[in-house]
Amino acid sequence: MSTLASELTLELPGGLPAADVLDRALRAASPAEVIAAALKTIGRERLALVSSFGTESAALLKVMADVDPAIPVIFLDTGWLFDETLAYRDTLIATLGLTDVRSIKPEDETLSREDPDRELWFSDPDACCRIRKVEPLARALKPFSGWINGRKRFQSTTRAGIPVVEDDGQRLKFNPFANVSREDIEAIYALGKLPPHPLVASGYQSVGCMPCSSRTAPGEDARDGRWRGRAKTECGIHTTKTS
């Protein structure tokens, strides 16, 4: 465990919320230090990492595996994922030695009731994300007091101000890659000899569900290919309380 994590005090001076205290302490920390501090603060049994196994996911998973490969990893299998993403998940589990990856699916009853024709992604993408991502994640996170995710400030203007640690309304939320650059991500891939997501070579900078992901053009933000042509920019798991 890093020196920063081992020396981190969890006392809350001035009555500040734990998230504010941790964010101040970890504002300049490396991703590995943030994950180590999260592990020390929460404990492995109460901490989870949420990963899409998307185009940049291997970097965060590599850093986590170097700290502790047994931290639980939650993967939302929405029923609309690319086959390449499912294969990539299996590749990274084997490559990084991850020991507790939990693939979470939407409830069959909910899908039958609210999306029987699998057209909800077109008519109401927010509702589609709710039943396929937001609700399954809330269910999966119930046993946990903190979670780690891979959002980065450089990904889009809507993510430019994310903190390193925040309170999502129910638990602590750690963003260890908040401060990293695209060059940092590339360096982690190169040093770790990590395999790229199979769709990167086809022009996808950000990959989610098949109907709502598209290739991006040079100069576009990584997430410009998500929900193209709509005002929607997030699936909801980062804008909805994970109760």
Residue 195: Cβ within 10 Å count: 12
Residue 235 a catalytic site member? yes
Q: With the C-alpha atoms ordered 21, 24, 29, 32, is the resulting torsion angle positive or negative?
A: positive
- Given the residues 128, 129, 212, 235, the one annotated as active site: 235
Q: Residues 107, 93, 38, CA angle at the centre, nearest 5°?
A: 80
| CB burial of residue 217 (10 Å; 0-12, 13-18, 19+) | exposed
Cβ partners under 8 Å of residue 242, min gap 6? 137, 138, 141, 147, 168, 169, 170, 171
Q: How far apart are CA 70 and CA 101, in angstroms?
A: 9
CA 72 to chain centre: 13
What's the one-letter identity of residue 211? P
| Catalytic site positions | 235
